[in-house]
Structure 1
Amino acid sequence: MTVIAENAEPLARRASKPVPNQTAVARIDWNWLGAVPYFAFTALFMILPIFYIFIGAFQTPEGSFTLQNILDLASPTLANSYWLSIRLSLASAAIGTVFGLALAYAVILGGMPTWMRHAFTTFSGVAANFAGVPLAFAFIATLGRLGLVTIILRDVFGINIYSGGFTLFSFWGLALTYLYFQLPLMLLVITPALEGLKTEWREAAEILGASRMQYWRMVGVPILAPSVLGCFLLLFANAFGTLATVIALTGSNFSVVPIVLFQQIRGNVLYNPNLGYALAFGMVVIMAVSNILYLMLRARAERWQK
């Protein structure tokens, strides 16, 4: 019996030991497989096109290396298109930041009922992605020369907005159109920062004798400033890459950078694909700088609110 017990113990230990191949398979973490479609999509539609644009920006149509495409970006026509896009993006981003912050304050901190707050948030999620031809048509039907609001203001209130110089197909008309998706986007991205303002900070300021204005000037505004500036940069980047809305609203008469880029790559007259790649490369640089600054400001805001 003793011999059997001594032999059975090593056999039991050997049987309990996992097979090496089974151990290796068991140690593999398969959870990352869910992220494979995302990384594949990012590589195919973001990373690889950026490399393709970068290479094409420094090539001639024959494939040789050149810096002429980059130097041509300083020509008056292309420089003006960049400046027009930057001014339009800055204007819509600034207005969207100011009024979007006021709207977010009213929704989040203004004592609005919960059901109304959820309704605003849901609508903002839809409106922030509403652009292109449907948005242009909606504004033409509303504020065009024969739009509903234009006719009501003219026939009921005697106000002719077009006689005063306003036109939907101008710089400020485009900026106004951009606000339709800029304001909801501002509401969505600034909401976490407003919710991060702790009640204890306001109560401590009141205990120390600070007025409401002093609380916002010395506590609220410094804490929110990085988030607000980051949202401004995000709105700027969002407006800078808009193409479909501009084309649908003004045709190709408003020469922002995306339209000039489209003409260089697809146009019959202004056909220079490599110059188009250079234009796209300049846009990528501007967008990258804006997003990097936004991420830096967001990280700073998160440190403040911890």
Structure 2
Amino acid sequence: MTTARTLTGQGHDRVSDPVASEPSAPARRGRPAPDWSWLGLTPFAAYVLLFLALPTIIAVASGLFDGDGAFTFDNLAALGDPVILATFWNSTWVSLLTAVVGAIIGALVCYAMLGLPDTGFVRTTVDAASGVLAQFGGVMLAFTMIAAIGTQGVVTKFLRDGLGIDIFAGGAWIYALPGLIPAYLVFQVPLMIITFMPALAALRPQWFEAHLTLGGTRSGFWRHIGFPVLAPSFLASLVLLFANAFSSYATAAALASQGSQIVPLQIRTALTSETVLGRENLAGALALGMIIVVAVVMWIYALIQRRTARWQA
């Protein structure tokens, strides 16, 4: 018994070693280490400041001052001039038309690729071409349009000489406002494919199978499930296409040879002639009007994107 108690006591002493059971010393409290991770955003912040924020501030500020540097609202009053209103209307309907047509065509292309494998030849080719053409604009796009469907373009001569169809019977429309429509569609459709394809691919096949199991039809699935779910993404892409066309300048400047039919071209005219409508610094007021329109459009885009993220989460 004594031996057993001794062994038990020794075991008990080993388990409840007073040295091991002492509480650890409290950690030293000092100043936390500085977090330098925000330095990674420095290049992007510098880019936003130099190429977005600073030009916006200069454009808005220039529209609120006259040639002598005095504060005035005369430049803003020019936004109510019929000529300026006509340019805003032209920019609006051209942007809206190309956005709607581009959104519909792009959505149909996305639907056609829905059943194709992601790494297949057709899918990867369309994705690569869309990524390139979405950024294809300016002088290159204007030259391509003139070489293809200009008054002496390849397609124009083929239709006129081979099929007897003269697409310029009513005048050289490609160098005017209507010519911007096919030019804008060149980059509007690919942009729609890039932005809308992820939303369409997010439709789960289980939803379609469950709908059919419950006695539904294919058309009923799209009418009650597919279209309502995709509507926010489609509208968000449509708004993005509108903003993209509304702010486009390089293609219109290289293609349109007469007049200032849209707001970006009107801003160019105001910059080269500071006495337009008898008001100096009119370009700043026009830029302010464009900033307001684009800001409202992008605010609507952000609201729609929030709704879209609910069911994608």
Contact in 1 for aligned 2:267/2:286 (Cα 8 Å): yes
Identity of aligned residues (%): 37
2:217 to 188, 211, 214: 211
Aligned equivalent of 1:38, options 35, 41, 44: 44
- Rg larger for: 2
Secondary structure (helix, strand or coil) at the match of 1:255 reads coil
Question: What code does the residue aligned with 1:28 have?
Answer: P
Give the TM-score normalised by the residue count of structure 2: 0.85
Residue of structure 2 in register with 1:71 after alignment: 77
CA contact (8 A) 1:106 1:112 kept: no
- Find the partner of 1:169 among 175, 182, 186: 175
The partner residue of 1:304 within 288, 292, 311 is 311
- Alignment-derived partner of residue 8 in structure 1: none
Query: Structure 2: how far apart are the matches of 1:105 and 1:139?
Result: 28
Per-residue deviation, 1:237? 0.5
Match of 1:124 among 116, 120, 130: 130
Of 93, 105, 108, the match for 1:102: 108
Partner of 2:284: 277
Matched residue SS, 1:73: helix
5+ residue gaps in structure 2? 1-24
Selected match of 2:295 from 288, 296, 302: 288
Distance 1:58 1:96, change over 3 A: same
CA distance in 1, matches of 2:45, 2:171: 50
* Aligned residue in 2 for 1:160: 166
Q: 1:134 to 1:198 in 2, by over 3 A?
A: same
Q: CA RMSD in A?
A: 2.2
Task: Report the counterpart of residue 54 of structure 2 in structure 1.
Answer: 48
CA distance in 2: counterparts of 1:273 and 1:60, whole angstroms: 6
CA distance in 2, matches of 1:164, 1:63: 48
Q: Give the superposition deviation at 1:112.
A: 8.4
How far 1:195 sits from its partner (Å)? 1.2
Q: One-letter code of the match for 1:197?
A: L
Q: Distance in 2 between matches of 1:215 and 1:113?
A: 27
Question: Which amino acid counterpart does residue 283 of structure 2 have in structure 1?
Answer: G
Q: What is the alpha-carbon distance in structure 2 between the residues aligned to residue 224 and residue 304 of structure 1?
A: 10
Check the 8 A contact 2:63/2:284 in 1, yes or no.
Answer: yes
Deviation at 1:154, TM superposition (A): 2.0
Please list the CA deviations of residues 137-191 of structure 1 after superposition, one character each: whole Å capped at 9, or x if unmatched. Answer: 0010000111111112222223222226673223332111100000000000001
Range that drifts further, 157-166 or 36-45 = 157-166
Aligned residues: 288
Structure 1 position 56, deviation (Å):
2.0
Q: Is the 8 Å Cα contact of residues 246 and 254 (structure 1) preserved in structure 2?
A: no
User: Does the alignment pair 1:238 with 2:244?
Assistant: yes
